[in-house]
A and B are shown apart, each in its own frame.
Chain A
Amino acid sequence: MAVTPATSHLSYSLSYFWYQLRRSPMMLLGLVLIVLMCLAALLAPLLTAHDPNAIDLGNRLLPPSAAHFFGTDEVGRDLFSRVLYGARQSIGVGIFVAFVASAIGSVIGCFSGVIGRSVDRIIMRTMDIVLSVPSLVLTMALAAALGPSLFNAMIAITIVRIPYYVRLARGQTLSIREMAYVQAATTFGAGRSHIVRWHVLRNALPPVIVQMTLDIGNAILMAAALGFIGLGAQQPTAEWGAMIASGRNFLLDQWWYSTFPGVAILVTAIGFNLVGDGVRDMLDPKQKVK
């Protein structure tokens, strides 16, 4: 059949997605890791027996045991609870940064590419300036200027990630702008905003989505780094980076304190990166042929 009825598009997409997934075990692994971490974050109250912020000075720095799977910290808080609740912060930051930065960045990039000339030059040179500063240094400076808190760290990371999306979307726009369908839309009287909305943005999306999935892991690492140097989440918020930082003092004798949040960061970042790679292979059929 040349024409598939509209109703079957969704189920077709799902079965195609599953077909692709079976062919790339690494992506499947990444997806499993992400799903596990997300479940842990969502179901944290059900999975843990202890309040993540409950101080119990009688049980300080206990090693992992049946009562405290990951042990306890220097004020007796259950590390297992704190790691699970910490997943909420980290994954939340990752997803927020990827969505907000890509939305803002690709809209700016598309308009920059479509309008062209001096507007394009001003926008792109501004982005070049932002990109010329090492991203961690800039994030730290922004976070410090905004004041240390998880939310401000999130905003800082978002701002620093925007130029990557602007460049990506602009590059896509420059090639899409020359496509016959954009010209055809012009001959049918479409205005500039209609063309950006319906023709350019849509077709520029695949690489942006790939960049987004890869960026979630990146943003999680960045937020942890900011937490580690004290510019991100503040005590007593359970956040992986901050937990590693305070566990550092006990690293020689109480290895579990820093290790479990570290493993959590590792697993989540790997999960999102594997999925990002898999999504890229899916959305770019040209690369798949090996």
Chain B
Amino acid sequence: MTPNSQSNTARHVAAPAAQQDTIPPVLDIADLHIEFPIYRGAVRALNGVTIRVQQGEIVGVVGESGSGKSVTAMMSMRLIPQHSYVVRKGSIHKSGKNILAASEKQMRQIRGSDMAMIFQEPMTALNPTMRVGRQITDVVSTHTALSPKQARERAISLLREMHIADPEQVFDAYPFELSGGMRQRIMIALAFSCEPSLLIADEPTTALDVTVQKQVLMLLRERAKKTGTAILLITHDMAVVSQFCERIYVMYAGSVVEQGAAADVINRPAHPYTRGLLGALPENARPGAPLLAISGQVPNLADLPAGCAFRNRCRLQGDACSRVPPLLPLTSAADAPGHAAACWMTVREQHDA
């Protein structure tokens, strides 16, 4: 369980702002290996994940189910019960504070005031038996010294900032009286209530319909820019990521397989998995043609094959693929700083070109 931040940070070749070392990154996950022990073995949920979020940055983490996105998010807030996982290697720092070594009491202070989270299901993320306003003032008064009356005013002004037309009425409403979009706005208001420096949004729009999705995302971005909050957006929706994020990490089987500026990753994907994901977007399909899919399935994390985890589903297999590929910067790195992919084939292809 001892965090080990020294090892392997060299692999984190080119995070764009790695040089601005004066302010520590808002979130710095370095070479994190996490296992969940099971009967006679372990599920290797994260295998060397390095993610860095700078102040005020909007970063996306994409990947299919079981790629380790949610475990990464939960670990950043240390929401997984402590006896259920083992940290094999790596560290998590929040603005310089070691999350893995913090006491539960310290974590309670950090959660809510310094980092907050938005969940996928706005339907169930609010307590059905409490008025919305009370749920906001509870959070506000946990982390600030405001009087009940001031907390109420703060909550109402937060609701107003979420473009809710009648904040006083919504303040006194129960969650079941509100629509999904409204509830997600209230979750966002809650998350911003103590002006955290980092907001982790775990598929915040998956449960909403498309027209509301856009409103909610725009609202999220507007608030983040105004308060200088960084956002780590966990999603499997490539379209959302390409419009919303500045930088992207693509995860597969518990590792980051590609990272870089959003435009670079979307327009010039280097890893076959990223290419597959983008190719599978229904928006990119020709009308009438069958939708493309990545064949095969995510490998069993309790029994990862040797070498590249994507090997069995990949069309570009070579001899090198029997070894685990590191994240290598692309040759085009001069005009796409920070763009890196963990693939022997495509990176070499680009080096050769």
Q: Are A and B genuine complex partners?
A: yes
Would A189 and B178 count as touching, CB distance under 8 A? no
Would A181 and B108 count as touching, CB distance under 8 A? no
Task: Please tell me if B350 contacts chain A, counting CB pairs below 8 Å.
Answer: no
Q: Contacts A184-B187, A189-B113 given; indicate if A3 touches B125 (C-beta within 8 A).
A: no
> How far, in whole Å, are A91 and B190 apart by their CA atoms in the complex?
46
Q: Which residues of A lie under 8 Å from residue B173 when comparing CB positions?
A: 2-4
Task: Please tell me if A186 contacts chain B, counting CB pairs below 8 Å.
Answer: yes
Q: Which residues of B lie under 8 Å from residue A190 when comparing CB positions?
A: 108, 112, 138-139, 142
Would A189 and B111 count as touching, CB distance under 8 A? yes
Q: Contacts A3-B166, A183-B119, A187-B79 given; indicate if A202 touches B113 (C-beta within 8 A).
A: no
Would B177 and A180 count as touching, CB distance under 8 A? no
Task: Please tell me if B172 contacts chain A, counting CB pairs below 8 Å.
Answer: yes
Q: Which of B127-135, B236-244, B282-290 contacts A (4 or more CB under 8 A)?
A: B127-135
Nearest chain A residue, comparing its CB with the CB of B132: A3
Interface range on chain B (Cβ under 8 Å from partner): 20 to 34
Would B79 and A186 count as touching, CB distance under 8 A? yes
Within 8 A of B (CB), among A7-32: none
Would A181 and B110 count as touching, CB distance under 8 A? no
Task: Please tell me if B179 contacts chain A, counting CB pairs below 8 Å.
Answer: yes
Task: Please tell me if A199 contacts chain B, counting CB pairs below 8 Å.
Answer: yes
Q: Which residues of A lie under 8 Å from residue B128 when comparing CB positions?
A: 181, 203
Would A181 and B116 count as touching, CB distance under 8 A? no
> How far, in whole Å, are A194 and B139 apart by their CA atoms in the complex?
11
Shortest distance in angstroms between B170's beta carbon and chain A's nearest beta carbon? 6
Shortest distance in angstroms between B231's beta carbon and chain A's nearest beta carbon? 15
Would B170 and A3 count as touching, CB distance under 8 A? yes
Task: Please tell me if A198 contacts chain B, counting CB pairs below 8 Å.
Answer: yes
Q: Which residues of B lie under 8 Å from residue A188 when comparing CB positions?
A: 111-112, 116, 139, 142, 190
> How far, in whole Å, are A199 and B117 apart by their CA atoms in the complex?
18
Task: Please tell me if B232 contacts chain A, counting CB pairs below 8 Å.
Answer: no
Within the complex, which residue of B79, B112, B130 is in contact with A183, where a contact is CB–CB below 8 Å? Answer: B79
Task: Please tell me if B126 contacts chain A, counting CB pairs below 8 Å.
Answer: yes
Task: Please tell me if B158 contacts chain A, counting CB pairs below 8 Å.
Answer: no
> How far, in whole Å, are A6 and B152 apart by their CA atoms in the complex?
15
Q: Contacts A186-B111, A188-B111 given; indicate if A202 touches B116 (C-beta within 8 A).
A: no
Task: Please tell me if B26 contacts chain A, counting CB pairs below 8 Å.
Answer: no
Q: Which residues of B lie under 8 Å from residue A75 when comparing CB positions?
A: none
Task: Please tell me if B77 contacts chain A, counting CB pairs below 8 Å.
Answer: yes
> How far, in whole Å, are A185 and B138 apart by their CA atoms in the complex?
10
Contact with A along B155-169 (1 / 0, CB 8 A): 000000000001001
Would B108 and A198 count as touching, CB distance under 8 A? no
Shortest distance in angstroms between B84's beta carbon and chain A's nearest beta carbon? 12
Would A179 and B112 count as touching, CB distance under 8 A? no
Would B139 and A202 count as touching, CB distance under 8 A? no
Would A191 and B127 count as touching, CB distance under 8 A? no
Would B130 and A202 count as touching, CB distance under 8 A? yes
Which of B117, B119, B129, B187 counts the most chain A CB atoms within 10 A? B129
Nearest chain A residue, comparing its CB with the CB of B107: A189
Would B126 and A187 count as touching, CB distance under 8 A? no
Q: Which residues of A lie under 8 Å from residue B138 when comparing CB positions?
A: 190, 194, 198
> How far, in whole Å, are A199 and B79 apart by their CA atoms in the complex?
17
Task: Please tell me if A236 contacts chain B, counting CB pairs below 8 Å.
Answer: no
Contact with A along B59-77 (1 / 0, CB 8 A): 0000000000000000001
Task: Please tell me if A5 contacts chain B, counting CB pairs below 8 Å.
Answer: yes
Would A203 and B177 count as touching, CB distance under 8 A? no
Would B109 and A202 count as touching, CB distance under 8 A? no
Would A181 and B126 count as touching, CB distance under 8 A? yes
Q: Which residues of B lie under 8 Å from residue A184 when comparing CB positions?
A: 117, 119, 125-126, 187, 190
Q: Which residues of A lie under 8 Å from residue B150 when comparing CB positions?
A: none
> How far, in whole Å, are A6 and B172 apart by their CA atoms in the complex?
6
Task: Please tell me if B124 contacts chain A, counting CB pairs below 8 Å.
Answer: yes
Q: Which residues of A lie under 8 Å from residue B203 when comparing CB positions?
A: none
Task: Please tell me if B143 contacts chain A, counting CB pairs below 8 Å.
Answer: yes
Nearest chain B residue, comparing its CB with the CB of A116: B81
> How far, in whole Å, are A181 and B176 apart by their CA atoms in the complex?
13
Would B169 and A202 count as touching, CB distance under 8 A? no
Q: Contacts A2-B178, A6-B172 given; indicate if A187 touches B116 (C-beta within 8 A).
A: yes
Q: Contacts A3-B169, A188-B139, A190-B142 given; indicate if A180 touches B119 (C-beta within 8 A).
A: yes
Q: Which residues of B lie under 8 Å from residue A189 when comparing CB positions?
A: 108-113, 139, 142-143
Shortest distance in angstroms between A23's beta carbon and chain B's nearest beta carbon? 21
Nearest chain B residue, comparing its CB with the CB of A202: B129
Known contacts A180-B121, A188-B112; 12 additional CB pairs below 8 A are A2-B173, A2-B178, A3-B172, A3-B177, A181-B124, A181-B125, A187-B112, A187-B117, A189-B142, A189-B143, A190-B108, A190-B138
Please list 6 pairs of residues, one from A and one from B, whose beta carbons are closer than 8 Å in the complex, sorted by A's number: A181-B127, A183-B79, A184-B187, A190-B108, A198-B138, A205-B129
Name the 4 nearest CB pairs between A and B, nearest first. Answer: A189-B112, A188-B112, A6-B172, A180-B124
